[in-house]
Every structure is written in structure tokens, then in C-alpha cells.
Amino acid sequence: MMELDDTTVCGYVAIVGRPNVGKSTLLNHILGEKLSITSRKPQTTRDRVLGVKTMGSIQTVYVDTPGMHIKEIRAMNRYMNRVAKRALHDVDVVVFVVEGLKWTEEDQFVLDKIQAVQCPVILVINKVDVLAEKNQLLPHLKWLSLRFNFFDILPISARRKTNIVALEQVINKCLPKGPHYFPETQTTDRTPRFRIAELIREQVLRGLGAELPYTTAVEIEKLDSETIVKISAIIWVERNAQKPIVIGKEGERLKEIGTRARIGIEKMLGKKVHLRLWVRVREGWSNDERAMKSLGYFDLEED
């Protein structure tokens, strides 16, 4: 922890919500850089991702979380829910993200988990830019305000950066005075190895459409940081039949995944990158806690 004078402000902010409401897009736009991977598919985020923003005397530590979901069909589902629920512990602010005029069973599930928190909860209604019936927004806001004693309710568009500054201003009102936890230049606690694996997995999700379920993982096998960064990575799938889907005809799909991932990695590192990808099978890994731990999903203990 950095020792600064008592005029500084610092606090943790958990961003929570059901899958696919735009939590990661929101964090990326607040930080002004791509930290969390995004895709149109629910449950893209699997791990807690810490994003740090320091503006003068104010340091905000954002915790992006997996989407909370009711059905815990596999060990991976249980893992993501635990990660998200634990993010609610010991934070100074909770930002609860919902989507437009929708209120689903899973939104209520998230709100039920929020009930016990002692800190301010800010409700964010995302994706208001695509509302077909904008005249319904105000009645919806009034209806939402009756469901919980929210500190504030803000309609935003994370994708178009609408009302993001206003949201940050509300968050800043809730942060406690205290020393900054991170150096001014630090934006995350995640290692380059983790972020590289996530950038590759993002392109797997985006490149495969609906052809493959969420049974892929990425493991960085080798990372040599020289003038040209050399990376070897394994894309794990669960069944032999999935392997040719990822590779594609004559390797074209895997090549496209690699090209797009390399561009993102080069942008992150600011260096030229040589990326080699392999696809391998580990039967049923997403429902096997031992296999998950070997792939980097560590926090599997029950609360």
C-alpha cells in the first residue's frame, strides 16, 4: 500500500450482474483500455479481473466479475458464481448492471445476493441506446427503485460511452478517504500471461459462433519476451469431435483465431508477437475441479 496524505481517496468497486449485460464493456470504457475480454456470448468472463483507475487524488479499484447465473450445471458454472459472490465481500461500492427494460429471474437472483451488502449499491441500466420504446424507461426506473434502496439509478450505454462520466462521479461520492493501494501507473493486478490467454480465448469465442459450447480454455505453454515476443499456447476442448471445429478446413479457422489474437496481444504489449497455437483434447475438463485447477481456475472451495 502506498503511503499518501489524508486527502487521498481509494476504494473497491464490484461490478456485478447476470451474464451478457455489458459489465466488461463498461469496465473497459471506464479505464480507457481493453482489460476484460468481450463477446456477444454470455459467460465470457470467467475470473475476477481487477482494473485500477487513478485520477489525481482519487484511485478506484474496479472488480469485474463473471455473470451470476442460476443453473450451476458444471463445475465451471459453480466456480464463476463463487467468484462473483465473493467480489461482494469487503468492497466499498457495488455497481449492479442490468439491461434496458429487461428484468429476468437471474437479475432477481443477483439482487438477492446483493441484499446482505452494507455498502452503497448503484443500479446501472445499460444498453439504453438500443431501446425501441424509450418512453417506457422512466416507468421502468420507478419500478426498479421500489425493489431495493439503491444509492442511485443511472441509465447508460457502455458501448457508446453515454453517461459513463456521470456514473464515475456517483461512484466517487461513495469512496472512502485513504491511501492508494496501487502505483499511479498500474491498471490491473493480472499478469501479461493471464491477459494473453484471455485475448486468445476471446477470439475463440468470437470465431466459433454457436458451433462450440463454453468448453474451451487457453493455456500459455511458453512465453519468451524478447524483441519479438514468442508465445506458444494450447486451446483445450472437451471432446475429440470439437477439435476439427476449432481448427477448421485446412486449418483456416485456427489461423484466423491466431491472427486476430496476435493483433490484440501486440497492441497490449507494444511489441511484435510470434504466436503459435495448438488444439488439444482434455475430456470433460469444465466439470472436473482437478482439471480446472491445472488450467488456472484455483478458487474452487465452498464459501
- Is the pLDDT higher at 42 or at 171? 171
* Whole-angstrom distance, CA of residue 197 vs CA of residue 261: 9
Q: What is the dihedral of CA 98, 100, 102, 104, to 10 degrees?
A: -10
Predicted pLDDT of residue 123 = 98
Predicted pLDDT of residue 165 = 97
List beta partners, residue 126. Answer: 99
* Whole-angstrom distance, CA of residue 237 vs CA of residue 296: 15
Task: Give the pairing of strands 217-224 and 152-155.
Answer: unpaired
Predicted pLDDT of residue 41 = 82
Predicted pLDDT of residue 303 = 41
∠ CA(225), CA(231), CA(234), 5° rounding?
A: 150
Residue appearing with cell numbers 422512466: 138
Above pLDDT 70, what percent of the chain? 95
Q: What is the pLDDT of residues 192-242, one digit of tens each?
A: 999 999 999 999 999 886 666 578 999 999 999 878 999 999 999 999 999
What letter represents residue 94's amino acid? Answer: V
Alpha helices in the chain (DSSP H): 23-31, 75-86, 105-114, 137-145, 164-174, 192-208, 243-247, 252-269, 289-294
Give me the mean pLDDT over the 154-182 stretch: 96
C-alpha cell at 209: 459462433
Q: What is the pLDDT of residues 6-24, one digit of tens each?
A: 789 999 999 999 999 999 9
Domains and CATH numbers, the chain: 9-174 (3.40.50.300), 192-294 (3.30.300.20)
List beta partners, residue 228. Answer: 272
Predicted pLDDT of residue 227 = 84
**Phi then psi for 219, rounded to 5 degrees?**
-120, 125
- pLDDT at residue 186 above 90? yes
Q: What is the pLDDT of residues 23-44, one digit of tens each?
A: 999 999 999 999 999 988 877 8
* Whole-angstrom distance, CA of residue 16 vs CA of residue 13: 10
* Whole-angstrom distance, CA of residue 164 vs CA of residue 26: 8
